[in-house]
Amino acid sequence: MKSTPETLAIDGGEKTVQSTFPWPIYDESEVQAVAEVIRSGRWGNPDCGEAVAAFEQAFAAYCGTKYAVTCVNGSVSLRLALISCGVRPGDEVIVPPYTFIATASTVLEVNCVPVFVDIDPDTYNLDPKAIEAAITERTKVIIPVHFAGLACDMDAILDIAQRHNLRVIEDAAHAHGAEYRGRKLGSIGDVGSFSFQSSKNLTSGEGGIVVTNDESLYRMMASLRNVGRVEGHQWYDHFNPGCNYRITQMQAVLLSQQLNRLEEQTVLRNDNGLYLNELLADIDGTTPLSRGTEEIRHCYHLYIFKYDASAFGGLSRKDFVAQLAAEGVPCSMGYPHPLYKQPVFQNKNFMCYAIPETVDYTSVNCPAAERACSDEAVWIFQHAMLGTREDMRSFAEAIRKIQRVVSQS
């Protein structure tokens, strides 16, 4: 008897993945915590910011740092870190091109020059081997991005920074709870910067935080976050050119409740990522990104694998991702191009910022980042990584189903 051909979900067939993956995850504890703040009438910060201070202390303790300063978002947290690290107009800051725009645009906002250094093709993190060649006498900071929640090679990066007297700001916007050699990401460099935007592994809808062990950096970031005020002085004394970047009591209690869930969720994401790596290793045309060679815990803000169209009958990555999403796997192709190809850099739309006229991004080329954007990367979102082992098997089966169907067409 002739078998009935499979029908992809995108063409009206049954979805392979039947589970749904809600985000954010919450219960009455979050609702009650926010309701108590509302009923108290003490919503502001810093005039009644006890909940904000409590969350900062809890998050610093979780990361293993002495200090933490909350702020309105993860872009501002990078800005606070850069200014506190002492950058001046025209200084250069090394950043990867495969990351969200804020890693580079905040460098522009402090009147400095982003210098794009390519990523490691196996991990999609900043490639230490490429950093040293990009350092000049104007370089002041390296911003390694722990992309997707995978730790950068921090030993190599810190060695380079120490030899060249550079500051290291960890962009840990994806990396809540992830670890490198037993240390939480964000606690290893001079400053760690996190985002609490709605897609992040720890979220209050919006928000950010910086962590550090350096008291002088902490005091400056706290001042910049609070309109330039300095602790111990009068309310209307402003010592630094800061702004009101404070979060509210309601965000703080929400984050405190969410922090209670983070460790368990991180362990689950890491375990599911390891299992999905095993499953995809057996499928031609899908190559999970390397977890690096160091002792790490991955928090899988994104699970990323490389797609090879030749193993799928030449099916374009765009069509593959559309079909995978229709099968019920929350996924995307990620960034359409590296940051230096964004119009703000190509057209030098630097407006009021003091960027030297000689800066030109039209000839920048980072081959590994180009391939990731144009040909390779497939992202599975973090909330899907909170599923069961059966869900991970269904993700792999969805890929096999697509492969079978396209091979028969």
- Residues taking part in catalysis: 200
249 in Cβ contact with 44 (< 8 Å) = yes
CA distance 204 to 159: 35
Judge contact between 201 and 251, C-beta under 8 A.
no
Other CB atoms closer than 10 Å to residue 268's CB: what's the count? 16
What does the CA dihedral 296, 301, 306, 311 come to, rounded to 10 degrees? Answer: 120
Q: Are 153 and 181 in contact (CB under 8 A)?
A: no
344 contacts 362 by C-beta, under 8 angstroms: no
Please give the Cα distance from 113 to 355 (Å, whole number): 7
Strands 179-180 and 296-297, how do they pair?
antiparallel
Contact of 30 with 202, CB cutoff 8 Å: no
Is residue 401 within 8 A of residue 6, CB to CB? The reply is: yes
CA atoms lying within 13 Å on the CB side of residue 100? 17
Residues belonging to the chain: 409
Q: Which burial class, exposed, middle or buried, applies to 41 when counting CB atoms under 10 A from its CB (0-12, 13-18, 19+)?
A: exposed
Peptide bond preceding 46 in cis form (omega within 30 of 0): yes
Rounded CA separation 330/326 (Å): 9
Cβ–Cβ under 8 Å, residues 320 and 366? no
